[in-house]
Amino acid sequence: MTAISLRAWQVVLDAVELDLLEGRLSPGDHLPPERTLAADLGVGRSSVREALRVLEVLGLIRTAAGSGPSAGAIIVARPGGGMSSLMRLQVAAQGFPVADVVKTRLVLEGFIVAELAEACRTSTPDLTSSAQILTAMEEHSLTEAEFLALDAQFHLSLAEASGNLVITATMAGLRSAIEGYARAGALGLASWPKTSARLMLEHRSILRAILTGQADAARLAVQAHISGYYAETHLTAH
């Protein structure tokens, strides 16, 4: 045996992963009932539940009680769900310094907008939802929290437009990790109306750079946008 005394819940996890890799399970499929799974794998139901809990937090399955087609544990492969939890908790546990989180966001978002801009030179990526969010943000009656939520949604919509699921999921995780921090920083800003107006202008210029195919300009704009807000809130937070 290569692995002796594997934890019972790991046995379950490995079995599910193997079923996924070998095609016996696919998104949309139902996992066997917990009791059946326990009996088949020769472990207790508690161990099965621990493994299922992990899969649920990782965004791989969705569980529902009751009976019928919608009940039970269903493979959903929802990317990003687990990433958010992971990032949030790691930041909470000081595993991830916020500065590193911001820098990673700079890299990924810079790439995304540059790629989108490149794509705009030959085709027309779907950026309507991004534009719609910007329009919604111009509503003057928005609270800070609402504005920041839309702000985050805008950045996420760009990632989604890029079509890269991994980057989208990572971005979602990073965003939720920064959220509390950004919110707290906003409260200490000298002038929220002034900052929000600036953020809006920056958003517009980012989108314009993308649509006109200026990859470098888009990258620089989004990076200045992110690091600018970070620096501003970082300073006032101290």
Partner DNA sequence: GACGAGCTGTGGTCTGACCACACACTATAC
Partner DNA sequence: GTATAGTGTGTGGTCAGACCACAGCTCGTC
* Residues found near DNA in the complex (CB under 7 A): 5, 7-9, 31, 33-36, 38, 42-47, 49-50, 52, 63-73
Indicate the residue among 71 and 107 with the shorter CB distance to DNA. 71
* Cβ distance to a copy of itself smaller for residue 26 or 70: 26
The C-alpha atoms of residue 48 and residue 71 are separated, in whole angstroms, by 17
* Sole window of 64-72, 73-81, 200-208, 214-222 interacting with a copy of itself (rule: CB under 8 A): 73-81
Taking the C-alpha atoms of residue 131 and residue 212, their distance in angstroms, rounded to an integer, is 14
Q: Minimum CB separation from DNA for residue 172, in Å?
A: 23
State the minimum distance, in angstroms, from the CB of residue 35 to DNA: 6
Which among a copy of itself, DNA, none contacts residue 89 (Cβ within 5 to 8 A by kind)?
Answer: a copy of itself
Which entry of a copy of itself, DNA, none binds 38, CB below 5 to 8 A by partner kind? DNA
Q: Among 62, 74, 85, 144, which residue sits at the site for a copy of itself (rule: CB under 8 A)?
A: 85
Interface of this chain with a copy of itself, residues 101 to 160, rule: CB under 8 A: 101, 103-104, 107-108, 111
Pairing of strands 61-64, 72-75: antiparallel
User: DSSP for the chain?
Assistant: --S-S--HHHHHHHHHHHHHHTTSS-TTPBPPPHHHHHHHHT--HHHHHHHHHHHHHTTSEEEE-SSSTT-EEEE---TTHHHHHHHHHHHHTTSS-HHHHHHHHHHHHHHHHHHHHHHHHHS----HHHHHHHHHHT-TT--HHHHHHHHHHHHHHHHHHHT-HHHHHHHHHHHHHHHHHHHHHHHT-S-HHHHHHHHHHHHHHHHHHHHTT-HHHHHHHHHHHHHHHHHHHHHHT-
- Closest distance to a copy of itself from the beta carbon of 176 (Å): 12
The yes or no reply on residue 224 touching a copy of itself (CB under 8 A) is no
> Looking at 3, 21, 65, 190, which residue binds a copy of itself (CB under 8 A)?
21
Catalog residues that contact a copy of itself under the rule CB under 8 A.
9, 17, 20-21, 25-27, 46, 49-51, 53-55, 57-60, 75, 77-79, 82-83, 85-86, 88-90, 92-97, 100-101, 103-104, 107-108, 111, 164-167, 169-170, 174, 180
